[in-house]
Structure 1
Amino acid sequence: MPRLPATVEEDLRGLITAIDKVDRVGDLLEQCLGDLSDSQAKGGHYFTPRDLGTLMVAAAAPQDRHQVLDPVCGSAGLLVEAYRYVREQTGLQPSLALTGRDLHAGTLQIAQLNLTVRGIQADLGTPIDSLAQPSSRTYDIVLANPPFNDPSWSSEAAALEDPRWPGMPPPPRDRAGFAWMLHIAHALAPQGRAVFLMADGAATGVRPTEQAIRRHLIREDLVEAVVALPPGLFSHTRISCCLWVLNRDKSPHRGWGDIDRRSRVLFINARRAKERVPDTRQWRLTTDGAARILRTLAAWRGAAPTDGAHGHYEDEPGWCRSCSAEDIAQQDYGLLPLAYASEQANGDDSEYWRIDDLKQELYGKLEEAHQLDLDLRRMLDAL
């Protein structure tokens, strides 16, 4: 912990007294973490909003006694959600082996605080660059929210003989997202599953190396599902993102589902499942939208969803489509759900949605331009 001057003693005493009066310290901490995330997001140190974390963990469906990893854990929010999910499913104190890794010492302190307040044990280790080397062990569940469009990553990690990218060139050094995908896939146990967030560019990049990585993931039958999420879910960026689900075993088995989905990928287009956060300009995923994503995923797997509503899977134009590896190869291994589960072309209605997409994209560009203008003015004022 940082050393504090003696003059802050009274302020700290007042702060401790105020916190001691709070009935639900966990909720207060989540609010503080959200405020902290907003304040430092432009430096790439943002945390995953709880609603997205809840969706990610439910999509991964961890089981008691699972080994769970977050290689870029931030505030440990995803590890907390994994613990909460298993506790709610079993009604017992979970016996999860939780592991978190992060590059920044200060962030690990916040993660330890978040876990300690909730009485959760986890191995956070010391600050480490997860991409610098492969994981030394495998995990049943990997959850991650790496920084979007990180322009660089450790050059020492780009060795040709690295087991994370066998028989292929290293991922592009200016697109860390592709390195994260292969790093996560390598850390999966024989029946391991991973859920992580990636900017749309990871699903659409046209450079040969980017296409080769997606081709590798499809040919190894690692991709289970890709979900296109609404834009604007993070306060610091309008970049659209997707939720990826990887799975090393899509055959029927306990804890996953009863339907054989080998050599198939589920695409869900949830771009319109959004609503405004009250009194802000930010968007969030609707509760109904998140529930529909999980119901669709459960039906496709042949599993019982958490809400108990069993359903039979069918492709729904504009929402979801189950595709074969051959279908994806015909699309040059592009994995953006909008290319597979697009809106039906119904004349004026289709044109309306296209205009709405362009309008939302323009709004995002205008907001970025406005923020850049403010930043430039502050820099000029400081001269």
Structure 2
Amino acid sequence: MPPEIRIPVRDLGNLLEFHDACRVVAGLMILRNQARYSPRSDQHSLWNWLLAQTDKPQQQMGLSVRECLPRYQDEEGRAFVPRLPPTADDALRRLVKAIHRAGRLDDCLDQCFQDLSEAKAKSGDYFTRNDVVRLMVAAVDPQEGQRVLDPVCGSAGLLIGADRHVSGRTGRPSNLELTGQDVHASALHVARMNLDARNLDARLLPPMDSLARPAESSYDIVLANPPFNASWRAEPRTDDPRWSDEAAPPQDNANLAWILHIVHALAPRGRAAILMAEGAATGARHVEQRVRGRLVQDDVVECVVALPPGLFAHSRAPCCLWLLNTDKGPRDEWGSSDRRGKVLFINARKAYEQAPRRKRRLSPKGVEQVLRTLGEWREVDGQYRDEAGQCRSVTAEEIADQRYDLQPPKYTGELGIGDAPEQRQIDELAAELRDRFQESRVLEADLLRILDEL
């Protein structure tokens, strides 16, 4: 995007709560879109009136913007408009003027959300980066008419990315069935406004913790960027179809719970792309090994990609992209190679370039290399070859020999950050100690129950 049409949102982000700032930006984009493309003269008048207020130094821009923003109702039917303090007036003036001058509003809105995410990421508020969205969507390659779910949808960026992927390939609006979930009502407000700003339709479910119960439908594509290493305290349920007693996820970390939840939501030939903290692939506790063992034995793990550290403003830690597939056999419409019983590991830790403000982002060349490797591995005539330090196709038996460790550099022949033998030994000892603590807590609970029954 040319620098002259960058939208100044960081000051606004410093003055408002994260989701409120996103609501304001998306609402103004919707209003500008309506003025630009709607034949109704009142839409032009409303935007022009708001634009005129920016030249009145004594005018409280917060009140003017609140008057014009589209009204969105909460779950109780109340119209919600963010409160805009007088301290935000100057930032709002600059924002309205910049949006008026902007060209492609879709690109501008993407940039605004990314800038706000970078500004607020350290407080835990952020949306999936656009470069990562493009990789995730292209890796699962949604097709027309498919059902797409994001169970932790945030701003709906991954759903919008899926729509762009299909419409870009076909040259016409996609007919994907898009569904989004999120635990935060404020995030769902932003998602709805983000979709409306692009004239896209999606079913957004009421606010809820997606992990609380299994998905009610099955989906052809699932795209997700769950919170990394979030705490999770699930009520034990022996009848939960997402996991068995032998492969239930740990309750102190939700990473593997998210993966099992998504596996259960996939249709018989469904595919998923999940962004995960590296610990989900490497955790050495027995409970973590059991869950990964089930995933490998059930043959749903298609590929794990090690991504560069420093992609996200809130963390320098590396992460992995998990690609799941419930049918890795040969089929005409999706890969002619039979990859059952195998997992592809790709080490893309160096696939980055420097971005402004000393940030990193995935390089186009690096993304292209990951997708090319994946495509060649899926096709019989793709001429796939293992490449030391880059990629390797591994059998389920070898993965079992490695205690179901799914960290790509372990198989591609290049140790990654924190993977030195001494560190691995420390991690394994720490994991064993955590297992002992967990066993002691279970024993304590059993003893207390017996005492209560006496």
- TM-score clears 0.5: yes
- Cross-structure match for 2:302: 224
| Number of equivalent positions | 341
Q: 1:19 to 1:270 in 2, by over 3 A?
A: same
Deviation for aligned residue 1:26: 1.4
Of residues 394, 402, 407, the one that matches 1:336 is 407
Are 1:159 and 1:170, in contact at CA under 8 Å, matched by a contact in 2?
no
Are 1:269 and 1:342, in contact at CA under 8 Å, matched by a contact in 2?
no
Deviation for aligned residue 1:357: 9.1
Deviation for aligned residue 1:93: 1.3
Q: 2:268 and 2:280 mapped to 1: Cα distance?
A: 24
Name the larger-Rg structure: 2
**Match of 2:274, SS?**
strand
Does 2:359 match 1:282?
yes
Are 1:231 and 1:240, in contact at CA under 8 Å, matched by a contact in 2?
yes
Which consecutive residues of structure 2, in runs of 5 or more, have no partner in the other structure? 1-79, 424-454
Are 2:310 and 2:359, in contact at CA under 8 Å, matched by a contact in 1?
yes
Equivalent runs, 1:43-62 vs 2, <5 Å: 43-62=123-142
**Match of 2:412, SS?**
coil
Of residues 206, 227, 241, the one that matches 1:126 is 206
What do residues 13-46 of structure 1 show as CA deviations (whole Å, max 9, x unaligned)? Answer: 8855652332211122112211221233234331
Structure 2 length normalisation: TM-score? 0.71
Q: 1:7 to 1:215 in 2, by over 3 A?
A: closer
Q: 2:286 and 2:88 mapped to 1: Cα distance?
A: 59
Are 1:227 and 1:267, in contact at CA under 8 Å, matched by a contact in 2?
yes
- Cross-structure match for 1:373: none
Q: 1:201 and 1:356 mapped to 2: Cα distance?
A: 11
Does 2:247 match 1:208?
no
Q: 2:392 and 2:98 mapped to 1: Cα distance?
A: 52
- Mean CA deviation greater in 85-94 or 68-77: 85-94
Q: 1:355 to 1:132 in 2, by over 3 A?
A: closer
Are 2:122 and 2:313, in contact at CA under 8 Å, matched by a contact in 1?
no
Q: 1:59 and 1:169 mapped to 2: Cα distance?
A: 27
- Cross-structure match for 2:373: 296
Are 1:277 and 1:284, in contact at CA under 8 Å, matched by a contact in 2?
yes
Does 2:321 match 1:243?
yes
- Cross-structure match for 1:137: 217
What do residues 80-118 of structure 1 show as CA deviations (whole Å, max 9, x unaligned)? Answer: 110000011112211100001111111111111111111
Give the helix-richer structure, 1 or 2: 2
* Aligned residue type for 1:170: A
* Aligned residue type for 2:216: S
Does 2:106 match 1:35?
no
Are 1:45 and 1:74, in contact at CA under 8 Å, matched by a contact in 2?
no
**Match of 1:189, SS?**
strand
**Match of 1:227, SS?**
strand
Q: 1:333 to 1:355 in 2, by over 3 A?
A: closer
Structure 1 length normalisation: TM-score? 0.83
Of residues 239, 260, 267, the one that matches 1:161 is 239
- Cross-structure match for 1:19: 99
Q: 2:311 and 2:384 mapped to 1: Cα distance?
A: 28
What do residues 199-250 of structure 1 show as CA deviations (whole Å, max 9, x unaligned)? Answer: 1100110111100000000000000000001100001101110000000000
Q: 1:211 and 1:9 mapped to 2: Cα distance?
A: 50
Deviation for aligned residue 1:174: 1.4
| Identical pairs, percent | 53
**Match of 1:30, SS?**
helix
**Match of 1:143, SS?**
strand
- Cross-structure match for 2:342: 264
Q: 1:184 and 1:245 mapped to 2: Cα distance?
A: 11
* Aligned residue type for 1:25: L
Which consecutive residues of structure 1, in runs of 5 or more, have no partner in the other structure? 304-309, 344-352, 362-383
Are 1:295 and 1:311, in contact at CA under 8 Å, matched by a contact in 2?
no
**Match of 1:98, SS?**
strand
